[in-house]
Amino acid sequence: ADITFHDYHLNKLIINATVTNDASNHVAEKAGFHLDGILRQEDPNPRGGFFDVNTYSLLRSEWS
């Protein structure tokens, strides 16, 4: 996140993780990202259908 906020001067960093990907969701939560919501049927599933996706964000003002 340092590169995002300090080198590139961006205001928001976003992580998208399928709702069933516990490891990726845990990483986002442990890193202090805020769960903004769920994007329904966002990612195609190779076996058919779609995955719901959790969208997390971290703002520059929240980064310590």
55 inside domain: no
**Residue with more model confidence, 20 or 1:** 20
46 inside domain: no
pTM greater than 0.85: yes
Q: Please, which residues have CB within 8 angstroms of residue 31's CB and are 6 or more apart in sequence?
A: 1, 58
User: Residue 13's domain spans which residues?
Assistant: 1-38
Express each pLDDT in 34-45 by its tens digit. Answer: 999 999 999 999
Q: Comparing C-alpha atoms, which of 59, 53, 9, 17 is closest to residue 34?
A: 59
44 inside domain: no
Q: Comparing C-alpha atoms, which of 63, 62, 60 is closest to residue 10?
A: 60
Total number of domains constituting the chain: 1
Average pLDDT over the chain, rounded to an integer = 95
19 inside domain: yes
Reported as a pLDDT band with limits 50, 70 and 90, residue 46 is very high
| 50 vs 15: CA distance, rounded Å | 18
52 inside domain: no
Task: Give residue 3's pLDDT.
Answer: 87
